[in-house]
Each structure stands twice: as structure tokens, then as C-alpha cells.
Amino acid sequence: GIIIVGAGRIFRVFGGTLEQTGGGFSGTGELDLQDATVIGSDFQHAAGMNMRLRNSTIAANLSNEGFVWVASASAISGGLVTLPGSTIRIATDGAVGSSTLTVSSGFTNFGTIELSSIGSTYGSTLDVGSGTLVNDAVGIINVLPRNN
């Protein structure tokens, strides 16, 4: 089913497992996954929705239309689709050390991927485990200057 998170609201999974069997998240709120795992088949992250991954794993096929912020070490072990208008930002802010997103298999980027370091000397990494990262003609990979 679909979980709708309204504006100014946060749906938080802390230290547990969320099984999402089809559907996904929509609304204009935020999905906050900390030390958590999402399992299931297909997981849709709708446009206008924010997701924060902190030491978490999405063990499902993720279709991203929204904004995903990765802090610390997180992984997507299912397939990944980044649609036009979507953003994945892998960023460290000095409080979490380095930030890494590991995607288990290759994918084609149709959205925006940003690597950032805000107020920190730590780095941000996108690790594609196997296969190839293809940046489509409409895809953007933006390595932002260190801001500290």
C-alpha cells in the first residue's frame, strides 16, 4: 500500500525493519530511516517527498522521484531507478564522519546525484558494487565544493 506523509510531518523508522510490499511513500513530508532496513519488492519514493538514510539499507527495488539525503553509511541492495527531477544527495556535515551510499548493482541516472561535504573535511562516496553507473543525457552528477 501507500503511506502518505503530510507537510511538516516525519515518518521515522529507528532501529527496525519496515516491510513495504508494493506501493511506497507519497506526500510532502519526510521519511527518516536510521539504523533501519526496508524490505519488500518495489518501493516508490514519490516526487515532493524527502527521505533521509542514516546507516540504513533499502533491500527492495527503489524508484526515486523525490529527494534522498544520505548521511553515514547506507545501502540500496535492490535495483535503483532515479527518475528525472529526483535528487540523491550524499552529504556529510561533520557530525557523522564520511558518508557513503553503496548501490549493489549498476543503474542509469536520469535525475541528479550530488556529493557534498558541509562544514567538514570528511568525504562523500557513491559506491556501485557491480555493473555500470550510466549517466543519461538528462542525468546530472554534481560534485559540490567543500563548504567548511
pLDDT tens profile 101-111: 999 999 999 99
User: What letter would DSSP give residue 120?
Assistant: S
Task: With cut-offs at 50, 70 and 90, classify the pLDDT of residue 148.
Answer: low
User: Residue 28's closest CA among 11, 5, 44, 2?
Assistant: 5
pLDDT at 128: 96
Distance CA 121, CA 46 (A): 32
pLDDT at 65: 95
Phi-psi region of 113 (alpha: psi -120 to 50; beta: other; left: phi over 0): beta
- Contact 107/82 with Cβ under 8 angstroms? yes
pLDDT tens profile 54-78: 999 999 999 999 999 998 899 999 9
pTM: 0.92
pLDDT at 39: 92
